[in-house]
Amino acid sequence: MTTEQLYAHILSKQSFLCVGLDTDIAKIPAHLLHETDPVFAFNKAIIDATADLCVAYKPNLAFYESMGVRGWGAFEKTIRYIKDNYPDQFIIADAKRGDIGNTSEMYARTFFDELDIDAVTVAPYMGEDSVRPFLRPGKWVILLALTSNKGSRDFQLIEDKEGTPLFERVLSVSQQWATEEQMMYVVGATQGRMFEDVRKLAPRHFLLVPGIGAQGGSLTDVCKYGMHDRCGLLVNSSRAILYADSSERFSEAAREAAAAVQQEMQKELAKRVKS
Amino acid sequence: MTTEQLYAHILSKQSFLCVGLDTDIAKIPAHLLHETDPVFAFNKAIIDATADLCVAYKPNLAFYESMGVRGWGAFEKTIRYIKDNYPDQFIIADAKRGDIGNTSEMYARTFFDELDIDAVTVAPYMGEDSVRPFLRPGKWVILLALTSNKGSRDFQLIEDKEGTPLFERVLSVSQQWATEEQMMYVVGATQGRMFEDVRKLAPRHFLLVPGIGAQGGSLTDVCKYGMHDRCGLLVNSSRAILYADSSERFSEAAREAAAAVQQEMQKELAKRVKS
């Protein structure tokens, strides 16, 4: 999917919501546990309930791997279900991978060749040759820059001799590897005004923003400091949507939660984005 | 497995070899492709041929994930096979994970609770709360410090205002999170004399050292600059052992390759380690 296609989807849906499919079998409604594949049944219901309100889905690999072979089956079925039924959705494998070249190449093969996913999240610590194998025509690397968690301060904010924090170095160095048509950055919603620093270095890139909802980030602040005139944001919500309700009406509740976010997003788009 | 148990295994086997199970279905001998599970059949043969020459196995998750559900099946069978037949082997899931707390927790559940693996490699970029969920009694975090690839220079060597490179910061900060009975560090064999810098900060920790063989690192240098008086090294070789030969005698060739490394290791142990 190209940048222009993403811009168009955001405008037509008036949403830049990404629904994070962090599906935890311990948290899904009890009545689904009788299904052959409860995790897939849950995902299918969530997807059907939210697809017109969001532009992207982001399954988090950890939640599927924790269930071994069954989990991988549910992950693959989920990807296929989205591609078959909602082909305009941007699919992100939240994997945070990154390894020596031949290993990163294997991960790229999994996500891009086998599953035809649009984007993979990648950790920058191992540098250029750990990221390059993920750069494929029509596919996206979403590189961790400034994450949403408390530990983001441990290393990402360390300043070098010129006073440049590590995450800024990641933003600038990685732009030598890929254009803004191939790379996005993860910037946590909890980072507030730091979005201004990110935008100085990456004014046009798409940013994938986790951390609203359960993690406490503010959508208003993210838009105020991070949105550009064609949006340039994909804001993720996982738990607040998936687990809005644990009864048989979980998917309606998920839809209501997603709709509430979408309505806020529509207002932000009206304020800041030229249509 | 405790540090003392690892020291004992190294002494009794006169080896600190870790065999990396980076099993690529495109590279395994053709006659195995008729097996129900070729990857597991290959791993089983390699393990049986090398178990008395090494102290650890390190399956690299990327290679299994690239085959989806079948790959996860082969991965799980491999772990179970080692645990059932060679219970003294230290098993490392080379996963390079690291995510926000609840996600790292899911990965920890997969590798430690479900599969009872001894250690997981973890990337440090997201900081303390991304690493802590992996700290479990009797289990190990192996944190990336100074990797073996060219890209290790992109960020790991960036110096802060006091001239401390990032990998040294990772070594010192992470010691506030875990003792040397719970944490090891990845240091690439290609880093030569930089092992001296690592040992200044982590004199007693175990180091997991990839990069001899196909990647060109020298075992002699690793031992000269990185070994302490009880060894404190696990040196990994993957491709040079697994793919020593592609014919029906692949497992004998793998054994010969592993034996050659073990013999070198025995000499290094005689020189530097008190028995």
* Interface confidence (ipTM) of the complex: 0.95
Distance CA(B111)–CA(B119), nearest Å, equals 8
Q: Tell me what the pLDDT averaged over chain A comes to.
A: 96
Q: Tell me what the pLDDT averaged over chain B comes to.
A: 96
Name the pairing type of β-strands A183-187 and A140-146.
Answer: parallel
Looking at beta carbons, which residues of chain A come within 8 Å of B60? Answer: 99, 103, 106
Q: Tell me the percentage of chain A whose pLDDT exceeds 70.
A: 100
pLDDT tens-digit profile of B97-125?
999 999 999 999 999 999 999 999 999 99
User: In this predicted structure, what is the pLDDT of residue A185?
Assistant: 98
User: In this predicted structure, what is the pLDDT of residue B32?
Assistant: 97
pLDDT tens-digit profile of A63-74?
999 999 999 999
CATH number at residue A95: 3.20.20.70
Burial of A264 (0-12, 13-18, 19+ CB in 10 A): middle
Distance CA(A255)–CA(A260), nearest Å, equals 9
Asked if A110 and B63 come within 8 Å (Cβ–Cβ), the reply is no
Domains in chain A: how many in total? 1
For B77, the 3-state DSSP assignment is helix
Name the pairing type of β-strands B90-97 and B207-209.
Answer: unpaired
Which among B144, B88, B139 is positioned nearest to B114, based on CA atoms?
Answer: B139
pLDDT band at B216 (very low <50, low <70, confident <90, very high): confident
The answer to whether residue A96 is catalytic is yes
Distance CA(B236)–CA(B228), nearest Å, equals 17
Which residue on chain A is closest to B71 by alpha carbon?
A: A69
What is the average per-residue pLDDT within B221-234?
Answer: 97
Task: Confirm whether pTM is higher than 0.90.
Answer: yes
Longest dimension (CA), chain A: 59
How near does any CA of chain A get to the CA of B184, in Å? 17
Looking at beta carbons, which residues of chain A come within 8 Å of B123? Answer: 96, 98, 123, 125-126
Name the pairing type of β-strands B183-187 and A207-209.
Answer: unpaired
Range of the domain at B73: 3-272
Helix A68-85 × helix B68-85 angle, to 10°: 170
Q: Tell me the percentage of chain B whose pLDDT exceeds 70.
A: 100
Torsion-angle region of A146 (φ positive above 0: left; ψ -120 to 50: alpha; else: beta): beta
How near does any CA of chain A get to the CA of B69, in Å? 5
Name the pairing type of β-strands A119-122 and A140-146.
Answer: parallel
Distance CA(B210)–CA(B219), nearest Å, equals 10
CA angle centred on A121, ends A119 and A127, rounded to 5°? 120
- Indicate the length of chain B as a whole number: 275
Looking at beta carbons, which residues of chain B come within 8 Å of A173? Answer: 154-155
